[in-house]
Chains A and B, each alone.
Chain A
Amino acid sequence: MVSVALLAQQIVNGLLFGGQLALIAVGLTLIWGVARVLNFGHGAMFMVGGFVGFFTLGATGSLVAAVIAAGIVVFALGYVTEVVLIRPLRDREEFGIPSMVVTLGLAFFLENAFIVWIGTQRQSFPRFTDVIWNVAGITLSAQRVLIFVISLVALGLLFVVISRTELGLAIRAVSQDHDTALLMGVRPNRVYAITFGISAALAGLAGVLLAPLFAVYPSVGWYPFLLSFVVVMVGGLGSVRGTLLAAMGLAVVRSISIIWVSSQMAMVILFAIMIVVLVAYPDGIGGYLE
């Protein structure tokens, strides 16, 4: 019999993890919603963010600098990826699959390039803080709470940019109707590249924030990618609201199932949920909510 305390603890852990997961997944859903690209390189962006943070921290000793550098470098990487790899495919009759393949190729390329350059060993990343709180019998690491809060702030900023700024207006216009946006004077190519940059930067930011938990190594991005992949499928590709809900829900499912089964089997459960949702509601729970 599972104690109520353990269950409560796992639910709290799940919610905290859900916030981090949302940060990774929202970039994936954003770039699909705007540019119809399923970015298999999203995990590689996460990985590059972790490394940029790691090196910046080593050089400057400042965590803030590490976070900022990761965001900027990975934004640039995403921007260039869109211009060089995705744009040449855009006029193709069939766009979804080639764009999936080139981003998969990019992920593979980057992962192995980092192995050649740095090796496969894990670089450990210092914790931001070691403080542990105890609230009503539930253990809370200040580290995880801090990461959760930063994730929420980043997501909130993204929301403000999308809903309140001129850039956000252009992004929404392009995602709803590319040709009409063009007629309004928007430059869709630039919007795609910037959106790809923002999406990548969110992954890069997550890469640094989660580095103390995941460590930093060339294939670190694959697992968060798979998790966020499940999240966006369940939440509905392109639906930010669905993605946030799915991130929280699935993270809680995962941390509760870990009470009984291995983390491998927890992933099996998540993937099975994803297939069922994909078949029952191809637009995800986000589409179902609308």
Chain B
Amino acid sequence: MTVLETLRSGIARTGDRLVEDARSRNGIVFAVLALLALLAPQLVGGYTLDLLTQLIIAILVVTSWIFIAGYFGMFSFAHAALYGIGAYATALLAGKAGVHPVLAVLLGGVVAGIFAIPIALPVLRLSGAYVGMATLAFAEIVYRLAIHFRGLTGGPTGYTGFPPLLGGSRLALYYFVFALVVVLLVVQYGLLVNRFGLVARAIREAPDAARMLGNNVPRYKLVGFVVGSAIAGVAGGLQIYTVLIISPPMIEVNRMIEFMAMGIIGGLRTIGGGIFGAVIVFGLNEGLRDLGELRLVIWGAMLILVTIYFPDGLADSSLDPRDRLRELLNRE
């Protein structure tokens, strides 16, 4: 089969699966959400629109983390750091090298993908909790270097000297973010419903079997890690145009925990889980902003409860209380 034919059949399959999934319970919910998101600028503006922009970006970060952690089973703590590398790269390319902002966002993704390689290589040799440990160390290194190289990054206070995207129009930014995120979600979805995703799941569940079936397991994992990280890098670039600053708190471990909580609460097994989790945690954070840290206490507790009682996340579990009860009783 030629590359073109493979691509064509892959796209056809993606289309078929998309139509199929759109008819499911979650599919309908997401279709309605997407429609609402398209209409949102007619209904809200100003700060609320900025928040929606950030939510859509968070969805991209979480789904790309699920791409790595949920599908391949590489439980990475480096995702927020790579998102931050994309953000810094975008800001510096646009601000110091004069690259066009839209191009800078895409290049931010490329840079994040490149920086993902030095940590992806050790990760290929590790498994389970050890992946978490190595990537956490990498994330801490990135965070500290971002503070240390103040000449480049602005140090602890951050960097703001980059031009706005699309002339600084909030509305234009919103639609740009929406469009780019939808495209990247479909790309991820497409990869995952095709052979690539099948192999990814095989690697997660039975790495030895995946190897014996003739798959180049390290190469798949490397590509998965780099692609997911590059997408996070693009999200980082989008984020700085929304908040107009890049600073170390954007990439510290608490951000990682937040993305992780979104993924786990929503469910690690599907892209839809990431969307669901991002909406819940982001909504909770913003909706309860008046409660201060109490909202962090709440979703910290949610993270624990969901891990124990809904191992597949909220999006992919039946929320009927009778089903839950039955499941709990069976476990005893």
Contacts and interface: CB of A to CB of B under 8 A. Distances in A.
Given A278-B122, A279-B122, A272 B141 contact: yes
Interface string A89-122: 1011010111011101110110011011000000
Contacts of A115: 292-293
Contact of A96 (B128, B292, B311): B128
Given A96-B129, A116-B297, A265-B148, A229 B136 contact: yes
B93 interface: no
B307 interface: yes
A94 B70 CA distance: 13
Contact of A101 (B140, B253, B264): B264
Interface stretch (B25-33, B191-199, B208-216, B298-306): B298-306
Nearest to A98: B307
Interface in B285-301: 292-294, 296-297, 300-301
B144 A265 contact: yes
Interface in A65-103: 85, 88-89, 91-92, 94, 96-98, 100-102
A112 B297 contact: yes
A179 to B, nearest CB: 20
B137 A230 contact: yes
Interface string B103-146: 00000000000000001001001101110111011101100110
Contacts of A101: 260, 264, 303, 307
Main secondary structure of the interface of B (DSSP, over half): helix
**Interface size grouping (class) on chain A:** 35 or more
B54 to A, nearest CB: 21
B120 to A, nearest CB: 12
B300 A97 contact: no
B316 to A, nearest CB: 16
A112 B141 contact: no
A267 B144 contact: yes
29 contacts: A38-B133, A85-B304, A85-B308, A100-B132, A101-B260, A101-B264, A102-B307, A105-B300, A105-B304, A108-B254, A108-B303, A109-B297, A109-B300, A109-B304, A112-B300, A115-B292, A116-B292, A116-B293, A230-B137, A233-B137, A264-B144, A271-B140, A272-B141, A275-B122, A275-B138, A278-B122, A278-B133, A279-B126, A282-B126
Given A105-B304, A108-B257, A279-B134, 5 more contacts: A106-B300, A109-B301, A230-B137, A267-B140, A282-B126
Interface of A: 38, 85, 88-89, 91-92, 94, 96-98, 100-102, 104-106, 108-109, 112-113, 115-116, 222, 226, 229-230, 233, 262, 264-265, 267-268, 271-272, 274-275, 278-279, 282
Interface of B: 75, 119, 122, 125-126, 128-130, 132-134, 136-138, 140-141, 144-145, 147-148, 253-254, 257, 260-261, 264, 292-294, 296-297, 300-301, 303-304, 307-308, 311, 331
